Amino acid sequence: MQFSDLDLDKTYSYADYLQWQFDERLELIKGKIFKMTPAPNRSHQDVSINLTSKLYNFLNNDKCKVYSAPFDVRLPKKSISDKEVYNVLQPDICVICDLSKLDDKGCIGAPDIVVEILSPGNSKKEMSNKFDVYQESGVKEYWIISPIEKTLTNYILHEDGLFYANRPFIEDDLFTTVILPGFEMKMAEIFE
């Protein structure tokens, strides 16, 4: 099977996703296929490496783990059966503190933190759908980073099950998170 053989109007599950053997990287959002853009640009990669390194060094010997794409995050609604999982995303970076959610395939369940780094290829529809899926799945914090604007918007999941954002963090700010007590990062370090 090749990517061109897929019916993009059909709803697919993780079981289908596991059968595909082509080179294209995909995500499933609400059972629909979203083809990932070609390799991210250099500024995207710089931000990803800078932030992943900072998180990795902070979490060394901690109970939480950090992973960067490609890394499958399966977000089930009810059953964790591969045939009934319709959300399979590959966030740029994620932090998982409940290590029981990790298996050989990646993560099953909501990470504590998900980071998406915007690229020119990210579609508004894709970003809107991801926001909804992360919120519905119970991701505690969702960070959206814009390398072009040099900002980080931190969406925090509240008790009502909705994300709320603080003002965007800019280059001069010091960023902290309640998920990782003691973690501090000068925003300028992300964009070096």
Mean pLDDT for the chain overall: 91
- Residue 120 confidence class, pLDDT cut points 50, 70, 90: confident
- What is the reported pTM? 0.92
In the chain, the percentage of residues whose pLDDT exceeds 70 is 96
- Whether the pLDDT of residue 42 is over 70: the answer is yes
Smallest CA-to-CA distance from 111 within 122, 102, 120 is with 102
Please give the pLDDT value at position 123: 62
What is the reported pLDDT for 35?
80
- State the pLDDT at residue 38: 65
C-alpha triplet 140, 141, 143: angle, nearest 5°: 160
Token digits of residue 119: 């690229």
Structural contact between residues 86 and 14, judged by C-beta atoms closer than 8 angstroms:
yes
Q: Which CATH superfamily is domain 39-190 in?
A: tt1808, chain A (3.90.1570.10)
pLDDT for position 170 = 95
Which amino acid would we find at residue 46?
D
Model confidence band, residue 128 (pLDDT cutoffs 50, 70, 90): confident
Closest CA to 153 of 163, 171, 136, 165: 165
Domain regions of the chain by residue span = 39-190
Q: Quick one: DSSP state of residue 34?
A: E
Give the model's pLDDT for residue 26.
87
Checking if the pLDDT of 52 tops 70, the result is yes
Q: Are 113 and 154 in contact (CB under 8 A)?
A: no
Q: What one-letter code names the amino acid at 82?
A: D
